[in-house]
Amino acid sequence: MPTFTVPVEDNQFLLTVAVAVPERRATDRRTCRALVDTGAHCSMVSANVVETLRVASTGIGGFMAANGQTQSTPIFDLHIAVPVTVTATAADGSTSETVFAGGRALEVLLLPFDPPDFDVLLGMDLLTEFHITMYNGTLVLSN
C-alpha cells in the first residue's frame, strides 16, 4: 500500500498533484501545488489551472463559504491525481522508483480568489479515496 507523508507548512498541508482534462490526461497534465482541506466537501481549482489546461466550463455550481453565504462559480470536469513515488530496494542493493497515483475524475469548482501558495484545493470528494492520518504536524496519505 503506497503511503507518503506531508509535513505541515505555515499551518497548511501542501502537496503536489497532477491535474488533467479526463480525455487528455495521458498526454496533457499539469503539476500543481494543492492544499488539503478536510473541511471542504468539494475540490476547487484556480483560474490559472483552467487557463493553462484550456478547459471549458460545464455549468455553474455553488458552495457555502466559511461566512455561511452561498456562492456560485463555474464547474469544470478534471482528473486530479496525487502522485506518490515508491522506492524499492532489491537484494543486490539497487533501487528502483515507481510512481503511483491515486485520484479520479471530478466535477471541480473554480476558486473565487487567486491563492498565493496553491492552485488546487483538495476537498473530501477526492480525499475519501485515501486513508488520512494527521499526527504531530504530519499528514499521512495511503491508498
Q: Is the pLDDT of residue 131 over 70?
A: yes
pLDDT for 129: 84
State pLDDT tens for residues 55-97.
Answer: 999 999 988 887 888 889 999 999 998 877 667 778 888 877 6
Grid cell in block for residue 137: 504536524
DSSP for 37-101?
Answer: -TT-SS-EE-HHHHHHHT----EEEEEE-TTS-EEEEEEEEEEEEEEEEEEEE-TTS-EEEEEEE
Which pLDDT belongs to residue 49? 95
* pLDDT the model gives residue 119: 96
| Mean pLDDT in residue range 119-138 | 88
